Structure 1
């Protein structure tokens, strides 16, 4: 192997690890955890928030793939089911009422998930980029400018998604646009 091949292989491994560490489910879990903490929820309340809006929808999405495919059901129905679960969780957050920023964050995440499902029918919008951008902007807005440096993670994610050939530049840009849109929804709420 040449030195450039070794470097290329190492770069791809690093890119894969980066995408695993900052996978959409991980970023969403961190955002929900931070929202619960910021809202002053007790540990049990924060855990319930994380399970209800993150873990259960994630398990339904990942765990039902075989079930849906074996019955000839379209994959987008799984995403629709997750969106319905997140909508129910969001409504519960508003009805209880859970202190902000939890309800607005839950609503923005639900709308972001629904938008990704909708737009992925035409373009393989990068969920990694979209969710990461939302999470980074949300963190800066909620916890202050001391976290602006985290925005450096976005170009790295864009680079890794393209270098791993998971997305094209257009799909990464679409993910960026949807992340901004989701953050705009959160700001509006």
Structure 2
């Protein structure tokens, strides 16, 4: 679910930037789909190429950072670079937060996506903010996370959104 929601955000960012169908498709593949496949299938890829299985995080991080740099260097229109860079920051923070406290990726991504859509498309979408507490409730009700882990995920989503706001306001990104 988190990857699917990130895919929606990336596609919406591409549409908002007026990239066109094929550019949005390339963006989606490069930023979400390819890193996601590498993450899920890394064990198979590592065996095939004789790589250590411990390199999964490095491989996915490298792909994600390369995609973010490509968006900046190719001067992709706003809000794509800020969105992609904030997702890189959010993924890095999530990796750390999951190591120490098993923060909920579902809650983090849901919170970020609701805030992002409200920012990019206007306050008419403020109702989406109800999705974050609903996701927190569902993750704890399913006993996938504790309340501490769910709240940590929400805070992480807010921080990731803060990265988006900060990045979109940098003059060299716009």
Query: TM-score if structure 1 supplies the norm length?
Result: 0.82
Alpha-carbon separation, structure 2, partners of 1:148 and 1:80: 36
Residue 79 of structure 1: how far off its partner (Å): 2.6
Q: Unaligned 5+ residue runs, structure 2? A: 168-174
Partner of 2:140: 162
Alignment of 1:18-167 (within 5 A): 23-65=1-43, 73-74=53-54, 77-167=55-145
Deviation at 1:65, TM superposition (A): 4.1
**What's the offset of the Cα at 1:72?**
6.6
User: Which has the greater radius of gyration?
Assistant: 1
The equivalent residue for 2:170 is: none
SS of the equivalent of 2:57 reads helix
Q: In structure 1, what is the Cα distance between the partners aligned to 2:34 and 2:51?
A: 22
Query: What SS does the aligned partner of 2:100 have?
Result: coil
Whether the aligned pair in 1 keeps the contact of 2:42 and 2:53 (CA below 8 Å) is: no
How far apart in 2 are the matches of 1:185 and 1:98? 18
In 1, distance between residues paired with 2:145 and 2:166?
Answer: 30
Q: Contact between 1:80 and 1:114, CA under 8 Å: does it hold in 2?
A: no
Contact kept in structure 1, 2:43 and 2:53, CA below 8 Å: no
Structure 1 portions without partners, runs of 5+: 1-22
Contact 2:111/2:132, CA 8 A, preserved across alignment: yes
> Over aligned residues, Cα RMSD in angstroms?
1.7
Structure 1 window deviating more from structure 2 (28-37 vs 149-158): it is 149-158
